[in-house]
Structure 1
């Protein structure tokens, strides 16, 4: 058995002091089976970027605005005609003028690891639960007349993340390696579910924008969760080496389940009538040719071969192809 314990002390002007402990235990159940468990707490104060920075990412076509300058920035954009009130999300009125609070969290993790004696098969499965007070999270607050998304930061009063993970790796031969993983995740703000249950500000009847009808009074199960979090995700990778020509090839596939993007029916939380990014696969592949005598490596990479494109995911512009070269000055490095 191995036990690791420790702590971290933080003192930040405007946010005070905080002592966060952590404890991890690892136990060898059998030569091929290991059990792990860990508990820790965390503290994270908003940095200067989250408070004051205004930046634009031209590659992905979005603007990120610090919470302390959000109202002034939006007002300037509106005065210059770049943003109208119709492009602003309801969440903007909730967070404008509010200061960010520091994040405080408690995390629980447990896992089992199987690894055979030959060490060519490894399987790890685990569960986790993260309880976060005032989680700092980016949120969509609107877009300008050119279609650029505008994001800012907000606190989720009582966020929690719980789920399970499973991963494996297999070295089938000296040339062939396989690996993959799956994650199930629930990510919600408990305060929203409580407001719905108690008939508070989120207890209004659900509105379907596509039909224009108010359907029924919501229950906590109608609350989907936090933006940009998928319930299901998995990935797989195949890596093969051709010894004679010193050529390696890999194929990687990943799936991300649908996740909420914005509050379409303007009720202050995310439900099934809101805007989602659809579930999608990403397929990537690559080749690398090594020329040891010349200290050269040549690479060819193809990304997003299935051509997944969605305006709400500007980081995926379509199929991309890359050619690269690496040269080593000293082959012994």
Structure 2
């Protein structure tokens, strides 16, 4: 493969492809984006994706009820951030969250984070932004490595990678096994916070140079996990996940101006779990099987060195078969997109893009985006972007039909309401209907957002980079749950509906100071406000009351008493120091993150989060890592995550306390 091919160019430092689907220098991009390099991932000794993303400005991992971890970006829930591997999406959002802890970092070349609505290129689920995990590609020669890490709770991570490239053919192979005995944050409870588990990941990527102008890459990934599933002292079982992806990419350079790409992607995510009682009798079974097939053709046209177009057309075919569904749904969604990226005049870059998504189950979407960057001089540049993002209603929100056998409540997907309510009425289970079934005759609308980002990049010195970004995400047609009927057993029937006027806004500040070749300091801060406009008006109009303590008289709240949406911190920050001592072949780093207080639920009975509610206290996490190279091909490492043993046994399930580990890396 030639060094000036698109794939070869990806090896350059500070080059990003996710923001525009073309090769761009990060420093000249008009969009808020960042790159997490392989070097920084290795130095931190991170083993899972959630470990490394938690240390980035404006990102925080949030555990869901099933124990998985999603990523919150600019105050938007994890369901609004699209997760890609090599430019294609992962599936398996059983409850809206894609668990990023299932992704190993052992074969990651770099991680690209693009903030702000990106549906103009990526369609649904990119309402808040995109995180693209770029995996290793074949490099000339033969080499490999074995990496092993062992730590507290018998956490073990074993990975091995092989690289081979000669003449026209190249190959990378990677295998990882990760396991843990789990942990328990609340000994008074008979259940563990995280049950024992083990998972395995295998990746294979084959590249072949058909000619000087035509290349082919085929890759496959397989992931499997087994975990104990314990629901109570009398109910236990197993939870299994099996996931596979296959990705085929042909690229052809027809001339200096024209390049074409054909991409075919298929993936399937399957989760099965069961519970048995103490006598071995089956209590429950559940399954979740989601598949996605996506072919895409795209082309780039380079008018000259500074102006280009990229366009593409593709088709998404998605199916889901799962427990408690009224049907086996099928989504078919063709799409087309076009983007212009050019320098109108000196130091002024413009990106204009749009995409049209059709769909068999919801309203078609038109997603425009515009971004500009103007370099005032060699040190200061201003940039801004505005884009439309959307998230289609997922299968669960449309077709769910679930009744809790123990408590007795029912949750119904929007499209299943008429049939389920009719059935429950026939069975004599409905006391009264609160929301008429006729209100569900229209389509459940996709959630949408107008995303605005305004920023300044300032490089006062060659070694110092500063950046400030102001952001606002205005979300409409947000999908939420509401009670639509009361049951005779005293429980309720819930379904989904669209609400309006939710927003997140704030600022982000980033700084990188490379004092010299051996010392690097990086840090960031996010200020966030996340609120519902309708709730603000209710506080302003004096409709909301609270009590300071249980039993005390209630009083009227003011607008300033409204804190905002649940599980959002007003302040988050990070600070990292990387220090290398070449003569000792030693690398040391200390990394810290801070999250201010946040509320998880309403504790004073008014259904809103206000300053008189109970909050989770703010906290700081400090991690240390030391790595030393021996005899060129060996490296040993020691580290401590969560140095001061922070835990919150009541509210935070994904921070288990201090983790001490050792690591061995062998290269060949």
Q: TM-score surpassing 0.5?
A: yes
Q: CA deviation at 1:289?
A: 2.1
Q: How big is the shift at 1:188?
A: 0.4
**Divergent runs of 4+, >6 A:** 97-100, 152-155
Alpha-carbon offset, residue 211 of structure 1: 4.0
How far is the alpha carbon of 1:132 from its aligned partner?
0.7
TM (norm. structure 2) is: 0.39
**Structure 2 gap ranges (5+):** 1-347, 409-433, 482-494
CA–CA distance in 2 between the matches of 1:244 and 1:206?
63
Answering whether residue 614 of structure 2 is matched by residue 275 of structure 1, we say yes
Please name the residue that 1:45 is paired with: 392
Mapped contact 1:205–1:214 kept (Cα < 8 A): no
The question of 1:300 aligning with 2:638 is answered yes
Aligned-residue offset at 1:136: 5.3
Aligned 8 A contact 1:166 1:183 in 2: yes
- The separation in 2 between residues aligned to 1:271 and 1:238, in whole angstroms, is 37
Query: Hey, what does 1:10 align to over in structure 2?
Result: 357
Cα distance in 2 for residues equivalent to 1:324 and 1:134: 48
Match of 2:516 in 1: 173
> What are the residue-to-residue correspondences of 1:213-292 with 2, within 5 Å?
213-291=552-630
Which of 451, 467, 473 is the equivalent residue of 1:130? 473
The secondary structure found in structure 2 opposite 1:193 is helix
Q: Is the 8 A contact 2:546 2:605 kept in 1?
A: no
Q: Distance in 2 between matches of 1:276 and 1:7?
A: 42
> Which residue of 515, 533, 546 corresponds with 1:206?
546
Q: Does 1:115 align with 2:459?
A: yes
Q: Distance in 2 between matches of 1:136 and 1:327?
A: 50
SS at match of 1:194: helix
CA separation in 1, counterparts of 2:503 and 2:532?
Answer: 6
Cα pair distance change 1:238/1:36, threshold 3 Å = same
Larger radius of gyration: 2
SS in 2 for 1:301: strand
Q: CA deviation at 1:325?
A: 2.9
What CA deviation, in whole Å up to 9, does each residue of 1:192-226 have, x standing for no partner? 11233345xxx242123x34223321222221101
How far off its partner does 1:101 sit?
Answer: 4.8
Mark the CA change 1:237 to 1:110 in structure 2 (over 3 Å): closer, same or farther: same
For residues 176 and 154 of structure 1, what CA distance do their matches in structure 2 show?
Answer: 52
1:292 deviates by 5.8
Distance, in Å, in 2 between the alignment partners of 1:243 and 1:178 is 17
Answering whether residue 659 of structure 2 is matched by residue 315 of structure 1, we say: no
Q: Which residue of 2 aligns with 1:24?
A: 371
Q: Residue 587 of structure 2: SS of its match in structure 1?
A: strand
Structure 1 residues 137 and 182: CA distance shift in structure 2, 3 A = farther
Q: Residues 328 and 76 (structure 1 numbering): CA distance in 2 closer, same or farther, change over 3 Å?
A: farther
CA RMSD of aligned residues (A): 2.9
**2 CA distance for matches of 1:291 and 1:101?**
59
Within 2, Cα distance between the matches of 1:77 and 1:324? 46
Structure 1 equivalent of residue 500 of structure 2: 157
Looking at structure 2, the residues matched to 321 and 47 of structure 1 have their Cα atoms a distance apart, in angstroms, of 40
Structure 1 residues 111-169: Cα deviation after superposition (integer angstroms, max 9, x where no partner): 11111453x1000112111101134589xxxxxxxxxxxxx998663211111111101
Contact 2:510-2:523 at 8 Å conserved across structures: yes
Secondary structure in 2 aligned to 1:272? Answer: coil
